[in-house]
Amino acid sequence: MQVDEQSGRVTKVHLLPAELLRAVNQVPREVNQLPREVNKVPRAVYEVLIEVGQLPRRLNKVRRALNEVAIEVVQLPRSLNEHTGASHSRHHLAASEPVKTFLSRYETSEHSDNIDVRGDQRDMSIQKLEFYEGAALFRLIRSLGAVHVRIDDGVVFLNDQIRLYLKYCTRTRSPWSFTFSSTERHAIASQVAEMPLYIGLVCGSDGVAAMERQDYLEVAGGGESPIAISCARRYDEHYSVSGPAGVLARKIAPSAWNKIHLPGK
């Protein structure tokens, strides 16, 4: 057997057949290709790591979509009641009454979503809406003292001097998203401007962002098509609110909700 010293190729074999000679000559070529294949392994592993790293972001998108669906489902009874022209009763509450009494009365308002279609009986379990919006109302009423409360068409009236419109989001961390349907936007726009209006965005258990009427118009813009308003807050900072019309120029302090006061006080 003769071997070329420069290329390492077998040039002549006296005792091997031609097929075996070709196979032997291919060995150096296969060996030379090994580093290239090995180099492809880190790249494949890196691509896998990228895909794994994107999983939390995709899961967050799924959670956000599910949250928006849940909000729309909660709002269905209100839309159905308005569509059928159902009359809404008015309820009154003094701040000194027990919280249980307040919740039981709040449950029978149009704002509730626990109507039993089998008859006049209602599910007496406390709904999420009552947990979040009820807690926000209780906190405000406790800071105001004795106050007369009535709920009409989803709007809370305090002493018939100020109005509150509440929205809640169950997300535990910033940002929080709030969907306003066409019906809700029309209800807010139809409120008379003479009486102060506050939109309370209940951001899970973090707190309540108190938006004035002008704040809402600044981020919501005109029209009555459904929109989503986002509220975000970093640790120990104020709330930042944004909507389809832009970002609210001012930041909202977490304590602003508790500082809402009645005219003349």
Q: Parallel, antiparallel, or unpaired for β 197-203 and 162-169?
A: parallel
List alpha helices for the chain, DSSP H: 18-84, 99-107, 128-144, 182-189, 213-220
Which residues are CB-neighbours of 26 under 8 A, at least 6 positions away? none
* Tens-digit pLDDT profile for residues 157-194: 999 899 999 999 999 999 999 999 999 998 888 877 77
Separation of alpha carbons 203 and 172, rounded Å: 8
* Tens-digit pLDDT profile for residues 93-123: 333 344 444 444 444 444 434 433 334 445 6
Does 241 score more than 60 pLDDT? yes
In a domain, residue 24? The reply is no
In a domain, residue 78? The reply is yes
Does 248 score more than 70 pLDDT? yes
In a domain, residue 247? The reply is yes
* Tens-digit pLDDT profile for residues 222-232: 888 999 999 99
Give the mean pLDDT of the chain. Answer: 76
In a domain, residue 1? The reply is no
Closest CA to 67 of 165, 176, 166, 167: 176
| Two tokens, residue 183 | 């019906």
In a domain, residue 62? The reply is yes
Note down the domain range covering 93: 48-259
Q: Domains in the chain: how many in total? A: 1
Q: Are 229 and 243 in contact (CB under 8 A)?
A: yes
| Two tokens, residue 63 | 């959670």
In a domain, residue 32? The reply is no
In a domain, residue 116? The reply is yes
